[in-house]
Structure 1
């Protein structure tokens, strides 16, 4: 069986990453794209021959030949078009953040339950084996009890003022774009939730370009301190470190694995013991599409349900509530 996919909008991310991933994934077929531009559709057709173009999003949603829809639209449009896609009877995978506030997830959860369709946020890192390994090591006590976690995700797009990430009206800002990783990844791997947070945020033209978050999170073995940096104005950096009473886990390309660098997980323990786990050639976008397809076609559990994504959005909401300007 094959899941037939359509994409709403010819976003660059869809062109370079998710479109090819859908085409390459087992059990998936990219069959349609909604765009008014024949030239943009032609770019997608270079890797997906025979791709059908619809002139509007509504026309694609009305196509009975499409089972699932991927939505890479600007942030402020995610909720509306996710709900419209569910109402059209499609399974839905929407880019992060799926909503602008945690409470809005309740609409998605209710629509998902009523429709009996799979609806999920495109949080690809939970499908990557490096994050599954980190979660398993922590749960197995490989580094003892976690005492501190620090995360960082930075890039520099100051030369792109028209980029949707630099525009307040499209729901831009570094926290919504990449805080979802520095916050949600710790929730996933450590099975932890925030207890107290402080945030120092710098803004330009209404969007956050730098945020430093510090606080405390609570996991199965107790609380630990937490810090995170996100920025759209710093030299590129990605790193996550889980520091425990008996060891340390470091992920050196935790979020854009294979693009920022080779995915590697370092495990350091007492007596100078260390192990290095390398994940060359793993495409987390393909893994995400395949996991989505198995959940729809075979009824397997999906690794990132809406309830988890709502929790990460709730943490993002708390960061904004704790904002202190710098």
Structure 2
């Protein structure tokens, strides 16, 4: 076993260039060694921060290289399952962007390929690797807000570019697949509970893509309400409201981009305790946890089974909306 992982990326996506590529190269015990793209212009920015980067002109060629240990897949949503399975069958560990699949049963071939290969496969659900979410889960579990009554979550941004994959149905676009996965999964992660029923859905679509939604749900011990939108001013917040206090995350999903990550605990007497996380990069944390799981056998914080559960909630939302 080597002391580090040699990573490759399938496709020169903008997000990979700006966030995950640098994170892979910065993370301890990992190195960005290869990129698959047919465009030299798209490869250039990656080579600028990853000297010695090997560029392949096809995804298949990168997967055939025995010197690559792990691959990151930032392709359009509808291609995730296909290439995750191909990468696992090629003997690579796999980190694939969310949503990994468009329905919960889409996870199943990836799970089977993971188990058959003995490799690590995970959805790139970076937020659970951030210490603010570890702190939030611990506080709720320890009873810092008493009995949980209500979870309220919101995530929005404004993207009206018709050519963007998020606005195209054929590439698995939509606000719920793109960012609903965050507010639904975060609720499950902190509480450890699964939704019993979707109580209501109000969804607005453009070009057969959901661009705004309000969803309410019943969990075993609390009520949930959440809004996601690709047609509103940027905003994000998650609130856990209990009988004895309120826990609020001010920058739950885009730490250092939207703002500083903070966890605020307001007690029943209105005193507030805050925890600040000004410099944590959750993309780097994610890759370091992935490297440690592969190299040391450490438990990975976000297994595919957890991610499948979030997609099950999304499937419940679609079913409720369909009537």
**Same fold per superposition (TM over 0.5):** yes
Query: Where does residue 176 of structure 1 map in the other structure?
Result: 177
Among 248, 251, 269, the alignment partner of 2:249 is 251
Instruction: Give the match's secondary structure for 1:200.
Output: strand
Shift of 1:190: 0.9
Deviations 1:59-110 (A, max 9, x none): 0000111000000000000000000000000000000000111012111111
Deviations 1:168-193 (A, max 9, x none): 00000000000000100000011111
Among 211, 219, 222, the alignment partner of 1:217 is 219
Instruction: Give the match's secondary structure for 1:112.
Output: helix
Distance 2:86 2:93 in 1: 11
Query: Where does residue 148 of structure 1 map in the other structure?
Result: 150
Distance 1:264 1:161 in 2: 34
Query: Where does residue 82 of structure 2 map in the other structure?
Result: 80
Instruction: Give the match's secondary structure for 1:46.
Output: helix
Deviations 1:131-176 (A, max 9, x none): 0000000000000111000000000001x11000000000000000
Distance 1:129 1:215 in 2: 27
1:239 aligns with 2:237: yes
Query: Where does residue 60 of structure 2 map in the other structure?
Result: 58
Distance 1:249 1:192 in 2: 17
Among 277, 280, 283, the alignment partner of 1:282 is 280
Q: Is the 8 A contact 1:264 1:278 kept in 2?
A: yes
Distance 2:52 2:42 in 1: 14
Instruction: Give the match's secondary structure for 2:195.
Output: strand
Shift of 1:323: 1.2
Shift of 1:215: 1.7
Distance 2:105 2:39 in 1: 35
Distance 1:55 1:106 in 2: 30
Query: Where does residue 301 of structure 2 map in the other structure?
Result: 303
Distance 2:162 2:300 in 1: 37
Instruction: Give the match's secondary structure for 2:95.
Output: strand
Query: Where does residue 204 of structure 1 map in the other structure?
Result: 206
Q: Is the 8 A contact 1:200 1:324 kept in 2?
A: no
Say what the alpha-carbon RMSD is for the aligned residues.
0.9
Query: Where does residue 264 of structure 1 map in the other structure?
Result: 262
| Consecutive unaligned residues in structure 2, runs of 5 or more | none
Distance 1:18 1:45 in 2: 14
Instruction: Give the match's secondary structure for 1:193.
Output: coil
Shift of 1:272: 2.3
Shift of 1:291: 0.1
Deviations 1:101-127 (A, max 9, x none): 101211111111111000000000000
Query: Where does residue 162 of structure 1 map in the other structure?
Result: 163
Query: Where does residue 126 of structure 1 map in the other structure?
Result: 128
Distance 2:108 2:57 in 1: 31
1:312 aligns with 2:310: yes
Q: Is the 8 A contact 1:239 1:250 kept in 2?
A: yes
Distance 1:324 1:53 in 2: 45
Distance 2:269 2:303 in 1: 40
Query: Where does residue 229 of structure 1 map in the other structure?
Result: 227
Shift of 1:324: 6.2
Instruction: Give the match's secondary structure for 2:284.
Output: helix
Instruction: Give the match's secondary structure for 1:310.
Output: helix
Shift of 1:295: 0.1
Query: Where does residue 32 of structure 2 map in the other structure?
Result: 30
Instruction: Give the match's secondary structure for 1:271.
Output: coil
4+ residue runs over 6 A deviation: none
| Consecutive unaligned residues in structure 1, runs of 5 or more | none
